[in-house]
Amino acid sequence: MALLVHKYGGTSVGNLEKIREVAKKVVDACNSGDHVVVVVSAMAGETDRLFKMAHQVSSEPSQRELDLLLSSGERISASLLAMAIQSMGYRAISFTGRQVGIITDSFHFRARIKKITADRLKEAIEKGIIPIVAGFQGISEKGDVTTFGRGGSDITAVALASALKADRCIIYKDDVDGVYTADPSVVPNARRIKKISYEEMLEMASLGAKVLQSRSVEFAAKFNVPIHVKPTFGEGEGTLVTGEDEEMEEVMVSGVISDKNQAKLTIVGVHDRPGIAADIFGKIAEEGVNVDMIIQNVSEKGLTDISFTVPKSDSKIGFRVTKNMVEKIGAQDVKLDENIAKVSIVGVGMKSHSGVAAKMFAAMAKENINIIMISTSEIKISCVIDSKYAELAVRTLHDAFSLGKQ
Ligand code: ADP
Ligand code: ASP
Ligand code: MG
């Protein structure tokens, strides 16, 4: 008898019919002898709908209120699923994050889990009741509802699997049946990856592959929780995300990812003197804005341009902060460009192969795609390009590294 965590994403519980189907699936798993703890996302589109409403009543909604509002999406799907299971004659009970003791820090919309008690889950499992947990949320030490950021129900699932020492964490998807070499909605001949290391999956997720939330992969790697991404409806084998690196596919590049959720800020005519970068990025960090790539041009006559990228959702704050600094640091101007995309290739094989970057740049050049910024790590290379070429770049790189189906 295994203890399993099942996580159903927004598309899998997107309407009442699908909720009934998921209820059947959960009941079948229990009938085959396993204990199942279920985590659900909000019904597809619900979080966006709530977010939009908040912005209709306020131009800058308070983060505390926003978190309470957004957490309700997952509560709706959790309670509906519990009712659907009950109506089949089985015992089920839904819980909020607070009720299962998910304690977080106080950073709204990007809260990190500090502790999980899971007492009520253990109690339910012992009594043979199927627990359904509303994903994406916890409670701060001050007692306020917090959420984990977009896609955060994956974090709930992995964290509960770890806290309960579950045998497996299965993340069910409706629109894809596993992790692919590229987003299959962009690259039709993308290939399903059977097994992928935490390291590569973490890079892919952080670089914008929507299929798993990056912090859930970070969590899984840290506590060694195997994640199995599988199709909700149907029988596909899916993708295993694990730490064992034997039997991994021996390839140079495993995946291609694009992310249009980036914006570029350029501070023009900055004095090239020690301490200036610390001043600028210190102020930006104070506002909680995450900076990704940074480039500073060679200075001419003591003046230089500094460009950096931030998530699009933070671009207005980033622009305001840097604009306010222009005078103080004696710079000339700040420019914001939201029409950019980051295109990346990921693969542990890069550690032992040379010429990967050259091949990437050559493939883009052949399509006349101009590279605006570059950053590299041991297992990834990212380029910032004009967003209108994002899909073309992904397909081109996918072909250049022969990632498609044979
Ligand atoms: P859920 O509703 O289950 O949370 P998501 O919408 O968060 O599902 O994630 C699935 C989406 O991720 C798919 O629509 C797919 O197009 C996209 N995606 C992006 N990159 C990849 C990839 N490399 N492999 C699989 N899916 C991907
Ligand atoms: N409902 C949240 C979102 O749409 C969290 C999740 O789906 O995992 O981002
Ligand atoms: Mg998701």
Instruction: Give 114-155 pLDDT, tens digit per residue.
Output: 999 999 999 999 999 999 999 999 999 999 999 999 999 999
Determine the atom of ligand 2 nearest the C-alpha atom of 42: 1
Furthest-apart CA pair in the chain: how many Å? Answer: 78
Residue 153 Cβ contacting ligand 2 at under 6 Å: yes
Q: What is the phi/psi pair of residue 314, to 5°? A: -105, 5
C-alpha 350 to ligand 2 mean position (Å): 33
Task: Give the per-residue pLDDT at 354.
Answer: 86
Between residues 405 and 277, which one has the greater pLDDT?
277
Between residues 45 and 303, which one has the greater pLDDT?
45
**Fold annotation for 256-400:** VC0802-like (3.30.2130)
Please name which ligand lies nearest the alpha carbon of 346.
1
Task: Give the per-residue pLDDT at 250.
Answer: 66
Task: Give the per-residue pLDDT at 312.
Answer: 92
CA distances, 13 to each of 160, 176, 216, 233, 302 (Å): 20, 14, 20, 11, 58
Task: Give the per-residue pLDDT at 333.
Answer: 94
**How far, in Å, CA of 128 to CA of 268, rounded?**
64
- Residue 246 pLDDT grade (very low, low, confident, very high; cuts 50, 70, 90): low
- DSSP-derived secondary structure for 115-165: EE--HHHHHHHHTT-EEEEE-SEEEETTS-EEE--TTTHHHHHHHHHHHTT
The helix/strand/coil state of 394 is helix
Please name which ligand lies nearest the alpha carbon of 76.
2
C-alpha 210 to ligand 3 mean position (Å): 7
Helix (H) or strand (E) segment spanning residue 46: helix 46-57
The pocket around ligand 1, CB under 6 angstroms, is made up of 9-12, 41, 151, 173, 175-176, 179-180, 182-185, 209-211, 255
Give the residue-averaged pLDDT of 356-369. 97
Q: Evaluate if residue 45 carries a pLDDT over 60.
A: yes
**Atom 9, ligand 1: which residue's CA is nearest?**
211
Residue 339 token pair: 């029409």
- CATH number for the region 3-175 comes to 3.40.1160.10
Torsion of CA 134, 135, 140, 141, to 10 degrees: 70
C-alpha 306 to ligand 2 mean position (Å): 34
C-alpha 312 to ligand 3 mean position (Å): 19
For the chain, what is the total number of helices (H) and then of strands (E)? 11, 20
Give the residue-averaged pLDDT of 33-57. 97
Percent of the chain past pLDDT 70, that is, above it, reads 98
- Out of 181, 211, 380, 391, mutate this one to test ligand 1's pocket (max ligand atoms within 8 Å of CB): namely 211
Give the residue-averaged pLDDT of 62-74. 97
Residue 73 Cβ contacting ligand 2 at under 6 Å: yes
Task: Give the per-residue pLDDT at 274.
Answer: 87
- DSSP-derived secondary structure for 262-331: EEEEEEEEEE--TTHHHHHHHHHHHTTPPP--EEEPPPBTTEEEEEEEEEGGGHHHHHHHHHHHTTTTT-
Domain with CATH 3.30.2130.10 in the chain: 256-400
Task: Give the per-residue pLDDT at 265.
Answer: 96
C-alpha 99 to ligand 3 mean position (Å): 22
Strand partners for 342: 259, 384
Q: What is the mean pLDDT of the chain?
A: 94
C-alpha 44 to ligand 3 mean position (Å): 9
- Out of 46, 47, 74, 211, mutate this one to test ligand 2's pocket (max ligand atoms within 8 Å of CB): namely 47
Domain with CATH 3.40.1160.10 in the chain: 3-175
- Residue 247 pLDDT grade (very low, low, confident, very high; cuts 50, 70, 90): low
State if pTM tops 0.85: yes
**How far, in Å, CA of 99 to CA of 199, rounded?**
32
**Atom 5, ligand 2: which residue's CA is nearest?**
151
Give the residue-averaged pLDDT of 248-270. 90
Give the residue-averaged pLDDT of 193-221. 95
Give the residue-averaged pLDDT of 185-198. 95
- 283-317 per-position pLDDT tens digit: 999 988 889 999 988 777 788 899 999 999 889 88
